[in-house]
Structure formats: C-alpha cells, structure tokens
Amino acid sequence: MKHKDIPLNERIIFALDVDSSAKAEEWVRRLEGRIRFYKVGLQLFLAGWFSIVDWITARGHKVMLDLKLFDVPETVKLALRQIRNHEVTFTTVHGNDPILKAAIAEKSRLGILAVTVLTSFGEEDMKDTVGAPVRIDDLVLSRARSAINLGCDGVVASGLEAARLRNDLGDHFLIVTPGIRPGGNVRIPADDQKRIVTAGNAVACGADHVVVGRPISTAEDPLAVVESMQKEIQKVLG
C-alpha cells in the first residue's frame, strides 16, 4: 500500500462539533499549532453558516464541510454551487448514483466524499437500514466502488473496512475515517460510535485522514491526545 503525501498536521481532521462560532474559533486557536484541517458539521454550520467556514479558511486551514447532502439531484446540484463559492476542501454526499452524479457535475475544485455506511451503525442495524440482511463490509465496498467509478474523490468509511477498500479498489482515491478512538480503556462520554479503530490502525489499513472529535475535545489535555495520535500515524507512515 502506498501512502499519499499528506502533511502530518492535515492527517487528523478535528470535528468542530460545537454549538457556536465562538466555541469553534476557540478550538481552532487552541489546536492550530498542530492541526490544520477542521470538520464543520450540521450543528456548527447551522449556528455559524458560511462565515465560520470562511473564518477557518482565512487562517490558512482546510475545511471538510460535512453536511451529508441527500436530496433530489437538482437540489444537490444547486447546493454544490453554493459550497464551491467558498474555499472548502471536501464536502460529503450521502445518496444514490443520481445524487452523486449531480454533485460531481458541479464540484469544480471541490472534493466530493461519498458516505458509505455511518460508523454509528453495527451489523444489527443493517436489516432495518437496507431492508434485508447484509454484511456491512460488503455494502461499504459496493457503495465505494460505485462512488469512485462515478468520479467521487473519495469515501467516508470506517477503519474496519479501509483495508478491504484498498485491496479491492486501489490507492487512487481518498478514504476519510471517522469513529476514531484512543487505545486503552479510555471512555468517551455519550459515545454513539460502534465501528471504531485507533488513528494508527486506521492509517495502517489505508485511511488518508481520520476525523476525531470527542477523544480530543473531552480530554483533560487535548493537545497531548493530538500529539499521541500524530505519533501513532507517523509511526505507520515511517
């Protein structure tokens, strides 16, 4: 497996899962000496709109706008036209082929990440989700293959499936992995993630970026957690 040439301070995408722009700015200022990539999800985007995105990118950092767009293709196309007016690096789309095609057609320089299966889902959730029993790794592979063939720049997938995606689909696309947890018996408050791995394991299995929120934001020493995870990643990269 060939690892992409990505700076260490962009390997971790810190999830700004906060309810105000002020709190987001505080976290960016606190972490920007070590992290240059930030995720803006639904909660923060609804609180700060594009102004917080623009504030982060104006400081020279990258943004993953994680809105998991899922709507009729025309609506998704028009949403992409709004997003591409800002310096967003990645945005996420969670939909079928027509939805992905609409996003790809409008992306310009914007990277499109197709969401495969949310890391909060376990095998027991699959029947309710897709209407029939199915293995998660089979569904992730099927959705990832379709997304890459359509022209998506990458996928969002658990580290548990990353190795199979690399083995079956190659190295020419990005894998962004949420559900990252520290090693050892570290408890994360209100944890809803089921398919989890450590930062080092995710990269070893083929992830290019890892999305990390609560393991950093709830830590007594957030910067120490960042440093530890970056050391894990660097050890894998060699």
* 3-state secondary structure labels for all residues of the chain: CCCCCCCHHHCEEEECCCCCHHHHHHHHHHHCCCCCEEEEEHHHHHHHHHHHHHHHHHCCCEEEEEEEECCCHHHHHHHHHHHCCCCCCEEEECCCHHHHHHHHHCCCCCEEEEECCCCCCCHHHHHHHHCCCCCHHHHHHHHHHHHHHHCCCEEECCHHHHHHHHHHHCCCCEEEECCECCCCCCCCCCCCCCCCECHHHHHHCCCCEEEECHHHHCCCCHHHHHHHHHHHHHHHHC
- The most distant pair of C-alpha atoms in the chain lies apart, rounded to whole Å, by 47
Among 68, 127, 194, 235, the one annotated catalytic: 68
Of residues 102 and 159, more confidence is placed in 102
The confidence score (pLDDT) of residue 186 equals 43
User: So what's the pLDDT on residue 95?
Assistant: 79
User: What confidence tier does 159 reach under pLDDT thresholds 50, 70, 90?
Assistant: confident
Instruction: Supply the pTM of this predicted model.
Output: 0.88
Residue 120: predicted pLDDT: 59
68 is catalytic: yes
Of 219 and 126, which is predicted with more confidence? 219
The full set of domains in the chain, from first to last, is 9-237 (3.20.20.70)
Distance set, CA 116 to CA 75, 100, 149, 155, 221 (Å)? 20, 12, 14, 7, 32
pLDDT at 119 over 60: yes
Q: Is 67 exposed, middle or buried (0-12, 13-18, 19+ CB in 10 A)?
A: middle
Between CA 205 and CA 17 the distance in angstroms is 26
Q: What is the mean pLDDT of residues 42-59?
A: 96
